[in-house]
Chain A
Amino acid sequence: MAIWLAGRRGASYCVKALISTTFRSSRSYTTAFASNGNSDSLFFCGNSSSAAVFGSQRFESTKARQQLDLLSSDDDEEQNQGVDFPGGRVAFTSEMSFLPESSEKRVQCYRVLDDNGYPLSSTQFKHVSKELAVKMYRGMVTLQTMDTTLYEAQRQGRLSFYVTSYGEEAINLASAAALGFDDLILPQYREAGVLLWRGFTLQEFVNQCLGNKNDYGKGRQMPIHYGSNKHNYFTVSSPIATQLPQAVGVAYSLKMDKKDACVVTYFGDGSTSEGDFHASLNFAAVMEVPVVFICRNNGWAISTPITEQFRSDGIVVKGQAYGIRSIRVDGNDALAIYNAVGVAREMAIKEQRPILIEALTYRVGHHSTSDDSTKYRPVDEIEHWKTARNPVSIFRKWVQRKGWWSDEEESEFRANVRKQVMDAIQVGEKIEKPPLADMFSDVYEEVPSNLMEQERLVRDTVKRHPQDYPTNIPL
């Protein structure tokens, strides 16, 4: 009796069951059947087919016993000398078993605090000082407030575009807190909090979003495409996952320089489908470079849920598949992130190897201001993650219980930050836009003659038709 079990147990269990049932008793298939419990998709082959498949062994009892022995002692020294192939020696087996497409148990998730901000009893974590904890918490609140205010500004038509990081404040601030200032960051686009931690001011954020003269990007990029050399934060680039192989390249450069620093690159769950993701993980392992890959698995890539993005157990198993030490962390738990990133960074630098961190979280906000996520996911799901699983509230509970924060400080701080952001917007809007000359510079290191010519032509045209030229762009 051949039983083909589709479902969680997978093929390896199936074949094992098949062999054991064939040799032990003709009726033990029922045992196998019952113990699985998953009766949804069972197909029964004809009575005699199993006999036909293993028929030749059925009547040779000595041989059968040997086969049984093999089953029970896979690592029997005599039987399993192993065999050489390119890549090394590998033990062989006479049992044909396929690795299951998914394991019975998902990779576990490291967390320090529970949903109410209480430390789990047996968790190992490094204690944080009051100063650090409060700084992290303030950063999370600042990020949240800045996001809210700038999102509203976009809705009012004052910004063309904005991306919020709601639900991922812990990932942003706690990971940044665990890094050194010399560590180079290659972000995707939902990591403004990392730049905030490093000292980018609210005014600097707003200037970039408004594209005014003080924007370090000279008004050339869409909003939220921040970049800052002095903060070691590479300019945000829109195409997905392109920062991953670049990060490996930067890490290679660091390795050649033998610096006591690593590269940290962030990306979402959707990015893991890009070819660049696979190339960079593979390469990083082969080249043995100090890079920490932090995946913000927030469940959604615009409207694509992770069930449609991949069929693996998240991203942590992919790291292992490429030969990279990996960990799964509760992304809404600031202390867990802080600890994991800190340890990962040390390993990356000391051992000159890549590390992968999968931070599980939820994208509470819409993908961007061009998106309305209520169109493709239930509102109560969003509400649940916004309230019961909010990383800012969870950390707040822990910090307040420690006596390091209070409700009064909370309302005062929030009001203060909101005012600062609004002031920054007002100030930013009054600043001129970048001058015309900035349109033609930086295409190459030196401005080539054809661009100088084009600039001259534009200026001539402006001189001849001044009424058609915008007033807020200096010449």
Chain B
Amino acid sequence: MWGIMKHKLGARGLSTPVFGDYMQRLRPIASAIRFRPYSSATKQMTVRDALNSALDEEMAADSDVFIMGEEVGEYQGAYKISKGLLDKYGPDRVVDTPITEAGFTGIGVGAAYHGLKPVIEFMTFNFAMQAIDHIINSAAKTNYMSAGKINVPIVFRGPNGPAAGVGAQHSQCYGAWYGSVPGLKVLVPYSSEDARGLLKAAIRDPDPVVFLENELLYGESFPVSAEALDSSFSLPIGKAKIEREGKDVTITAFSKMVGYALKAAEILEKDGINAEVINLRSIRPLDRATINASVRKTNRLVTVEEGFSQHGVGAEVCATVVEDSFGYLDAPVERIAGADVPTPYAANLERLAFPQIEDVVRAAKRACFRSVPMAANA
């Protein structure tokens, strides 16, 4: 395995740093094969356990990493993401805070200024608005404004977007808000492997990272590879993943909508439309290369998100494709997003306010010029 890789790389004459990168990514696989005899069945892991294990491993590896937030300690985490960590690492590294997002976010940023690596948990990103000044003005801009003297290796994480029946102040998606700020990195995991790899990458990253999870995904199980279970595993920030290859239409999505897009793709397959589903994984930086390469192949684009359409993530994806691959588009870009209303509580209204699988299917068909009505209930 090693011999083949070296030969291939040597033949292409790649410079050492790239080789080093390759080696780093190969190492976990190599170590797995050499030291751990895995059964052929892949392990199933919930997103919750994926996040918990990632936090655990990063805290074990680096004593500067600590968790701070409401209910993260004694309560084991509002969504049990930090379960068991207080017992294992003690109250100095798992800090329960008074109710003040502005307070503990500012404190976390201050700790990061002085070299600690805080992981700040917001009960939901809706509450993070009470701290958004510190996220933007104190964290995102500081490396630049201090001319590189003060870097802020902080992670802000928590559930983002709608859950189920929690109303307007618990349901907003902040991907577009944070995605527009230079100085931040914004990650949006979908599967357990995403959750593990991206959270580890976020904690190790020297820049401030906003890590947008999804409450309804916490309990969902995904298969994880042996490589992903290794404690040195991490995913690169800024790379999207092609979850399903296809040739007729590109569907971009992130977080929970990736699941919807995949289901929509199965339905479309029966109608002879072969959809390619891209899991963005990273809103900032946006993987323009992967998105554009895909659209150049399929010539059609559907963007899916739960957030509001105006100034949304889909708008940015559409703009990048228009800028880079306009000539390749065979149809107008279809944008599927949440309704332009504060999220209603009533279950029937809530269902209408957010994209459903049928909406994605219809959008893909429209992009393929199959005549389909626009309205959801037509």
A212 to B135, CA, bound (A): 29
Nearest CB of chain A from residue B156's CB, rounded to whole Å: 14
Chain B interface size range? 35 or more
A242-B106, A275-B102, A282-B98 known; A227-B146 Cβ under 8 A: yes
Cβ of A400 < 8 Å from any Cβ of B? no
Residue in A closest to B153 when the chains form the complex, CB atoms: A445
Contact A444 B106 (CB under 8 A): no
Q: Please determine whether B145 and A235 come into contact, CB atoms closer than 8 angstroms.
A: yes
- Cβ A248 vs Cβ B107 within 8 A: yes
A237–B138 touching, CB < 8 Å: yes
Inter-subunit contact B105/A444 (CB<8 Å) = no
Are B143 and A442 in contact (CB-based, < 8 A)?
yes
CB of B44 closer than 8 Å to a CB of A: no
CB of A225 to closest CB in B, whole Å: 8
Whether A276 lies near B137 (C-beta < 8 A) is no
Number of A-B residue pairs at CB separation under 8 A: 141
Contact with B along A226-266 (1 / 0, CB 8 A): 01010000110101001011111111111010000000000
**How distant is the Cα of A218 from the Cα of B143 in the complex, in angstroms?**
12
Residues from chain A with a CB closer than 8 A to the CB of B167 are: none
* Chain A nearest Cβ from B117, distance in angstroms: 10
Are A442 and B103 within 8 A (Cβ)? no
Given A220-B144, A250-B114, A441-B148, are A242 and B138 neighbors across the interface (CB < 8 Å)?
yes
- Return the contact of B111 from the options A235, A253, A278, A443 (Cβ within 8 A): A253
Distance between Cα atoms of A283 and B111 in the complex (Å): 13
A283–B104 Cα distance when bound, in Å, is 8
Q: At the interface, yes or no: B113 with Cβ under 8 Å from chain A? A: yes
Q: Is the CB of B109 within 8 A of A249?
A: yes
Q: A235-B142, A245-B105 are in contact. Are A229 and B149 (CB under 8 A)?
A: yes
User: Closest residue of chain A to B286, judged by CB?
Assistant: A450
A245 near B143 with CB under 8 A, answer no
Q: In chain A, residues 419-475, which have Cβ atoms closer than 8 Å to a Cβ of chain B? A: 438, 441-445, 448-450
A280→B107 contact, CB < 8 A:
yes
Chain A proximity of B207: nearest CB distance (Å): 5
Given the complex of chains A and B, what is the CA–CA distance between A235 and B134 in angstroms? 15
Q: Is B342 interfacial (CB 8 A cutoff)?
A: no
Find chain B residues with CB under 8 A from A249 CB: 106-114, 116, 118
Decide yes or no whether B285 CB sits under 8 A from chain A. Answer: yes
Chain A residues near B114 (CB-CB < 8 A): 184, 249-250, 253-254
Contact A279 B103 (CB under 8 A): yes
**Residue of chain A at shortest CB distance from B110:** A249
Residues of chain B within 8 A of A248, CB atoms compared = 106-107, 110
B151 at the interface (CB under 8 A from A): yes
Using CB atoms and an 8 Å cutoff, list the residues of chain B in contact with chain A.
92, 95, 97-98, 100, 102-116, 118, 133-134, 137-138, 142-151, 182-183, 185, 205-207, 238, 285, 288
Q: List 18 A-B contacts (CB under 8 A).
A: A184-B114, A217-B146, A218-B147, A229-B150, A242-B106, A242-B133, A246-B138, A248-B107, A248-B110, A249-B113, A256-B92, A276-B102, A282-B103, A283-B104, A442-B144, A442-B147, A443-B182, A450-B288
Which residues of A does B touch, CB under 8 Å?
A: 184, 186, 215-218, 220-221, 225, 227, 229, 234-235, 237, 239, 242, 244-254, 256, 275-276, 278-280, 282-283, 286-287, 438, 441-445, 448-450
List 4 additional contacts besides A245-B110, A283-B107, A448-B285; criterion CB under 8 Å: A186-B110, A227-B150, A442-B146, A443-B182
